[in-house]
């Protein structure tokens, strides 16, 4: 490849430009693409059937060498593609040099990345559904548990614990939809685009697409070799997923603290302290919060890399891999440990119920009670606001106030105000998407159908 040059590459340049230390994980995709390419070349009469068979057998042997750890990677050969090609030539001689006919490293790399991304997307969706299932399991196991719902991290209204878990199910469901949508644009076969302009051989791109499992062909050769939208899309979807996981992580950190005491983490998903024997730290959740920033950084890095590149391929695009691989690894690992952590979570229903009964969490329901008697809601809101202020000054709960104290603020109050409870408040929210038990039961049924692949 250096016949054009009079000098060898400087050692520092060789080291600086090498990518084999990270793109080696594309070996399976690279060999699969090369085998399909060899078959196509033979089918089209560009190389002989005998040569294609020899190349295919040698590539399969190289794959075994890599997987058995006997393949020696050479940094001077830059990347995994050239390492495999060099080993192929070692095995079959000049026949191996025919493999690169009608192909460029540009469309070869684009193919490998798309094959890897397709596999990563499928694996991500599978793990998202596993976590959704874990959320459903813990929600159904605690479907009668009552807890405070929060706004501004202040107790707001009582809800069912299952309703709270289903909120995360919905977030993850949007994530599944995003990755499925990303797959549509990833599932495009770029091989045959050459360096940028196509190739002057009678190749069969449709055959290649079928062999490699792609649903369609790229429409423009320049775009095909320079497009990394699918990498960016995966990282954007991954960033949203990590954001959702980080939100859940934050709640688990809070809920498992002594101040809340709503849940207890299984010992297998917590760590201790090097100095304080009593500690049970939610490190898995905390690390997920931290790793979210890491995934965000990978997204910003690839966006910045691509933002000013002229068509078509530029070496800057070698930077598409490390951050992408790291995001895939980080997201899959986080989903995996979260599934285990959620599956083993112990919910302390008595503690959450007490918390839902404390303070003035039923204030909205008292206002609704007055509204039901004909008081305009804004006025009812004002009356109950004064009631809360009065009760706070007296150090009393709503139940501890006498009926005369209620009537001092509105003559419409009667003994019926004492029938307002956490349970009646939850049951009253009997609207689609609400926290009433009948609604949550329907939501759980719908969610179960979704994870089972049925129409919801």
In this prediction, residue 5 has a pLDDT band, given cuts at 50, 70 and 90, of low
> Is 392 domain-assigned?
yes
- Which tens digits make up the pLDDT trace of 274-295? 898 888 999 999 999 999 999 9
Contact predicate 145/347, CB 8 Å:
yes
> Is 329 domain-assigned?
yes
Catalytic status, residue 381: no
Q: What is the mean pLDDT of residues 245-264?
A: 97
Across the chain, mean pLDDT equals 96
What's this model's pTM, rounded to 2 decimal places? 0.94
Same domain, 248 and 397: no
Domain boundary at 334, 349, 364, which?
349
Helical H segments across 79-228, by residue range: 80-92, 105-141, 161-186, 205-212, 221-226
Q: Is the pLDDT of residue 98 over 80?
A: yes
Same domain, 360 and 226: no
Work out whether strand 154-160 and strand 146-151 pair parallel, antiparallel, or are unpaired.
antiparallel
> Is 262 domain-assigned?
yes
In what helix (H) or strand (E) does residue 181 lie, and over which residues does it extend? Answer: helix 161-186
Catalytic status, residue 152: yes
Contact predicate 127/403, CB 8 Å:
no
Dist. CA 198–CA 181, nearest whole Å: 28
Same domain, 394 and 285: no
Give the pLDDT confidence score for residue 177 in this predicted structure. Answer: 98
- Number of domains comprising the chain: 3
Domain boundary at 314, 329, 349, which?
349
% of the chain surpassing 70 pLDDT: 98
Domain containing 269 equals: 113-142+160-196+219-349
Q: Is the pLDDT of residue 320 over 70?
A: yes
Give the CATH number for residue 446. Answer: 1.10.40.30
Q: What is the mean pLDDT of residues 161-166?
A: 98
> Is 1 domain-assigned?
no
Work out whether strand 216-217 and strand 263-264 pair parallel, antiparallel, or are unpaired.
unpaired
Same domain, 58 and 136: no
% of the chain surpassing 90 pLDDT: 93
Catalytic hit among 48, 215, 273, 397:
273
Catalytic hit among 152, 274, 402, 419:
152
Same domain, 123 and 87: no
In this prediction, residue 95 has a pLDDT band, given cuts at 50, 70 and 90, of very high
Of the candidates 127, 119, 320, 338, the residue with the CA atom closest to the CA atom of residue 235: 320
Give the pLDDT confidence score for residue 85 in this predicted structure. Answer: 97
> Is 203 domain-assigned?
no
Q: Is the pLDDT of residue 11 over 90?
A: no
Give the pLDDT confidence score for residue 145 in this predicted structure. Answer: 98
Dist. CA 157–CA 416, nearest whole Å: 20
- Which tens digits make up the pLDDT trace of 48-59? 999 999 999 999
Domain boundary at 349, 364, 390, which?
349
> Is 275 domain-assigned?
yes
- Which tens digits make up the pLDDT trace of 141-153? 999 999 999 999 9
Q: Is the pLDDT of residue 409 over 90?
A: yes
Same domain, 253 and 393: no
Give the pLDDT confidence score for residue 18 in this predicted structure. Answer: 87
Same domain, 344 and 359: no
Give the pLDDT confidence score for residue 7 in this predicted structure. Answer: 76
Give the pLDDT confidence score for residue 410 in this predicted structure. Answer: 96
Same domain, 82 and 125: no
Same domain, 185 and 304: yes
Q: Is the pLDDT of residue 6 over 80?
A: no
Dist. CA 263–CA 258, nearest whole Å: 10
Same domain, 174 and 317: yes
- Which tens digits make up the pLDDT trace of 323-336? 999 999 999 999 99
Q: What is the mean pLDDT of residues 95-99?
A: 97
Work out whether strand 154-160 and strand 188-189 pair parallel, antiparallel, or are unpaired.
unpaired
Give the pLDDT confidence score for residue 1 in this predicted structure. Answer: 60
Q: What is the mean pLDDT of residues 56-84?
A: 95
Of the candidates 326, 333, 351, the residue with the CA atom closest to the CA atom of residue 263: 351
Q: What is the mean pLDDT of residues 124-148?
A: 98
Give the pLDDT confidence score for residue 2 in this predicted structure. Answer: 62
Q: Is the pLDDT of residue 75 over 90?
A: no
In this prediction, residue 16 has a pLDDT band, given cuts at 50, 70 and 90, of confident
> Is 456 domain-assigned?
no
């Amino acid at each position: 490849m250096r016949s054009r040059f009079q000098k060898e590459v400087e050692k520092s340049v060789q080291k600086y430009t090498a990518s084999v230390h990270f793109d080696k994980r594309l070996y399976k995709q690279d060999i699969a693409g090369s085998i399909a390419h060899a078959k196509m070349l033979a089918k089209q009469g560009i190389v002989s059937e005998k040569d294609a068979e020899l190349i295919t057998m040698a590539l399969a042997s190289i794959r075994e060498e890599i997987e058995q750890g006997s393949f020696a990677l050479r940094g001077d050969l830059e990347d995994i593609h050239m390492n495999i090609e060099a080993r192929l030539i070692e095995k079959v001689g000049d026949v191996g040099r025919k493999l690169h006919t009608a192909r460029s490293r540009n469309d070869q790399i684009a193919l490998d990345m798309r094959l890897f991304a397709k596999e990563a997307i499928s694996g991500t969706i599978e793990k998202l559904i596993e976590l959704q299932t874990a959320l459903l399991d813990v929600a159904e196991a605690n479907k009668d548990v009552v807890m405070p719902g929060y706004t501004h991290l202040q107790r707001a209204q009582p809800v069912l614990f299952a309703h709270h878990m289903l909120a995360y199910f919905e977030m993850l469901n949007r994530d599944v939809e995003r990755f499925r949508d990303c797959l549509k644009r990833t599932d495009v076969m770029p091989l045959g685009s050459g360096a940028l302009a196509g190739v002057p051989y009678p190749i069969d791109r449709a055959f290649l697409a079928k062999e490699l499992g792609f649903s369609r062909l790229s429409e423009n050769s320049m775009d095909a070799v320079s497009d990394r939208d699918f990498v960016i899309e995966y990282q954007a979807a991954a960033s949203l997923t990590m954001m959702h996981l980080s939100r859940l992580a934050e709640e688990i950190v809070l809920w498992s603290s002594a101040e809340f005491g709503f849940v207890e983490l299984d010992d297998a998903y917590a760590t201790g302290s090097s100095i304080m024997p009593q500690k049970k730290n939610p490190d898995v959740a905390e690390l997920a919060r931290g790793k979210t920033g890491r995934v965000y950084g990978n997204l910003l890095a690839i966006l910045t890399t691509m933002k000013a590149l002229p068509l078509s391929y530029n070496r800057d695009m070698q930077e598409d891999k490390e951050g992408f691989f790291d995001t895939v690894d980080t997201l899959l690992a986080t989903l995996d440990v979260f599934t285990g952590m959620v599956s083993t979570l112990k919910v302390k229903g008595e503690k959450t119920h007490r918390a839902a009964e404390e303070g003035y969490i039923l204030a909205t329901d008292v206002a609704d009670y007055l509204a039901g008697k004909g008081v305009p809601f804004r006025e009812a809101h004002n009356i109950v606001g004064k009631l809360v202020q009065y009760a706070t000054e007296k150090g009393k709960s709503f139940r501890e106030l006498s009926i005369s104290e209620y009537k001092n603020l509105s003559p419409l109050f009667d003994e019926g105000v004492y029938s307002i409870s956490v349970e009646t408040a939850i049951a009253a929210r009997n609207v689609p998407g609400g926290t009433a038990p009948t609604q949550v039961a329907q939501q759980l049924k719908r969610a179960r159908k979704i994870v089972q692949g049925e129409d919801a």
